[in-house]
Structure 1
């Protein structure tokens, strides 16, 4: 049974505070540690709360994007507002998205789980569509029954 779907989405914008990931793109342990350290830092310094206060919904976005040949990772929210400390306004295109749903004990576990399923399984199984780059995101949508739930959204194009 598949735990992903293809879904049409309107274009949307995420305001993000980010960090360049320095680990090699194949070093999953290093990348995950950098992401974890980043999230801990923005929770402790209040930047995540500042973003949440501007949000138009309760979703928290963990965005991955290649910018100027750098691997970037952002914490973001949907908003029309801006912040001086924001790193980037991230445009997600209108179109088809591979959507992987899941739940886990923590937001970090959820992100790792969804990323593994999306890039390790789902994209390989969706033979009529391909990911050709652009931002992708894990969306923390809330909590239920003590678990964090959410989705990973990856823009895809028809082959």
Structure 2
């Protein structure tokens, strides 16, 4: 049984740097490699640090979203500042969200673990709600005791 909560959230906006994931949506190894490579690139080239410098909080968002039939993936932050030219403004709706909390050794591991629990267990167990698309996100919230902790937020509707 997966541990999750259903929480009301106000609408929020994430400014994200993105990449198109080319692996088939059932190819978890391929998708995870693409995500890892993307995080390495935006971390090494300074773009992620720039986003963090304009953020309104310490959260780092890993957003998945279908856009024009493409599977997109973003590294982002909440900010009131103007978005960098190559960034996308991602709107999350006000409403109910399925939330899975966790921690891991690395942000990459946290991302994979939370997505696995959320999509592999929690959504199936949450009988009174359904995910009908739209952006979903893993939120890296900080570090404690040598671990990265955070949450996965998936917008849901009542059945």
TM-score (norm 2): 0.98
CA contact (8 A) 1:15 1:86 kept: no
CA gap 1:135/1:18 in 2 versus in 1, 3 angstroms:
same
Question: How far is 1:103 from its partner?
Answer: 0.2
Matched residue SS, 2:49: helix
In structure 1, distance between residues paired with 2:110 and 2:148? 7
In structure 2, distance between residues paired with 1:109 and 1:84? 28
Structure 1 match to 2:128: 128
Question: How far is 1:118 from its partner?
Answer: 0.2
Question: How far is 1:83 from its partner?
Answer: 3.1
Structure 1 match to 2:45: 45
> 5+ unaligned residues in a row in structure 1: which ranges?
none
Structure 2 match to 1:104: 104
Map Cα deviations across residues 62-99 of structure 1 (whole Å, 9 max, x no partner). 00000000000000000111233333100000000000
Matched residue SS, 2:85: coil
CA contact (8 A) 1:17 1:85 kept: no
In structure 2, distance between residues paired with 1:25 and 1:2? 22
In structure 2, distance between residues paired with 1:132 and 1:143? 32
Matched residue SS, 1:157: strand
Matched residue SS, 1:156: strand
In structure 2, distance between residues paired with 1:48 and 1:143? 18
> 5+ unaligned residues in a row in structure 2: which ranges?
none
CA contact (8 A) 2:2 2:117 kept: no
Q: CA RMSD in A?
A: 0.9
Matched residue SS, 2:122: helix
Please tell me whether residue 16 in structure 1 is matched to residue 19 in structure 2: no
Map Cα deviations across residues 78-125 of structure 1 (whole Å, 9 max, x no partner). 011123333310000000000000000000000000000000000000
Q: How do residues 111-150 of structure 1 correspond to structure 2 at under 5 angstroms? A: 111-150=111-150
TM-score (norm 1): 0.98
Q: How do residues 32-71 of structure 1 correspond to structure 2 at under 5 angstroms? A: 32-71=32-71
Matched residue SS, 1:39: helix
